[in-house]
Structure 1
């Protein structure tokens, strides 16, 4: 009987949290992200490592930006060729971005020999910084969004992308470009679905300086439709991930503070202090 009560309570909490997300008027958050420039449309660059990162992790952010008219560009630093499906995955990325209302001409995918998909593939941070800087200059980018130093799943390519962005901001003249990171959570929060909104709200409330924002997904169904375009990756456990992942329902973004960065020799590892 006790287990039935616990399961019923969890089910009710899940449904209640989902309603908070799906019904804008009942949302516990009044988001102020980019509110200062309400009349100014920003040129934003989302930097990801693989095709499907945008659909698995960043759809709340993408939906937030596109629905408010910001000019979003996506830079994917590999074609995800670990299983020899690079060409297929590249096409799937463009299809997913079409679902997410990102113009195809604003999506760029690289297949650089030194930036190949794989858990054992270490990416050079100086090379990443140079590539990202070229995109910033080409599209007059003034805001970057990417992974944090754990990269949601701990994938080394995700982590390297973060450190490449840090190196760019710290080492070059692009320090006036804002850089924001997607906050990684522990495994319980990661698979708590919409319930994580309450933890996210508490986290944001502890950062009153405006350096952390929770973006609620205004089009949850679009997340599933976008990920379904990645047919080569749309296997049962990824379907479960999209359904159960808190990243489907909200993103917490944190501004990267480059107050104390350190570069070590072997792999150009950079650690950035986060506020």
Structure 2
């Protein structure tokens, strides 16, 4: 009975999301995320993910949207996804996926840090994550950082650590300490991403130093 309730719930969510997409299409509404109305403002965008395949499973609609608008997309992947010993293979798959999504392999950075290894029960240090993101922001003149919502779609602990409020708070602190907030930080409503391809984001709150999901 429980599995039947789960299937029914997912079906209802999918149908609701589909209706939302169809309604927006028929009404002529357009996605306005990072859209200045003239299409002239191009951004350097950093997508921060935990493992290879996150970009395809959860953020492909976002990447397609951003590249179609001429934005310059970088991908920072915090691990090789080597929990099952397939890290090298998964790295190559990410490079291929990025090329398919029109992101240059030169703009894909896949880490293999000893303290950021893939796996359930492995807690990733927020300060370390924030420092890595900050280096990437500075190194590529990033305007916008995009990552998971607080649940990380599947609830995987690595996804949640990438989002975790402490990471966002520390990243804000590091930026403010150096005189300015050099990048806007957005957290995705990744349920919408994976089910309907909607671009649902909320800018993180500078006042409270927290990332907020829709």
TM bracket (short chain): 0.7 to 0.9
Aligned to 1:260: 208
* Separation in 2, partners of 1:29, 1:122: 41
Q: 1:132 to 1:17 in 2, by over 3 A?
A: same
**2:116 matches 1:168:** no
SS at match of 1:82: coil
Q: 1:50 to 1:162 in 2, by over 3 A?
A: same
Structure number with bigger Rg: 1
**2:57 matches 1:56:** yes
The Cα offsets for residues 201-252 of structure 1, whole Å up to 9 and x where unpaired, read as: xxxxxxxxxxxxxx8xxxxxxxxxxxxxxxxxxxxxxxxxxxxx41x53241
**2:140 matches 1:134:** no
Q: 1:179 aligns with which of 180, 185, 193?
A: 185
SS at match of 2:181: helix
Aligned to 2:116: 115
- What is the Cα deviation at residue 144 of structure 1? 0.3
Superposition RMSD on alpha carbons, in Å? 2.7
* Separation in 1, partners of 2:184, 2:106: 23
- What is the Cα deviation at residue 18 of structure 1? 9.2
Q: Give the structure, 1 or 2, with the largest relative contact order (CA under 8 Å, sep 6 or more).
A: 1
TM-score, length basis structure 1 = 0.63
Aligned to 2:9: none
Query: Please, which runs of 5 or more residues in structure 1 have no aligned partner?
Result: 1-9, 185-189, 191-195, 197-214, 216-244, 262-271
SS at match of 1:29: coil
Query: Please, which runs of 5 or more residues in structure 2 have no aligned partner?
Result: 1-11
Aligned to 2:47: 46
- What is the Cα deviation at residue 30 of structure 1? 2.2
CA contact (8 A) 2:145 2:186 kept: yes
Please state which structure has a larger fraction of its residues in strand. 1
CA contact (8 A) 2:98 2:104 kept: yes
- What is the Cα deviation at residue 19 of structure 1? 7.9
- What is the Cα deviation at residue 25 of structure 1? 5.4
Q: 1:20 aligns with which of 9, 22, 31?
A: 22
Q: 1:152 to 1:166 in 2, by over 3 A?
A: farther
CA contact (8 A) 1:48 1:74 kept: yes
TM-score, length basis structure 2 = 0.80
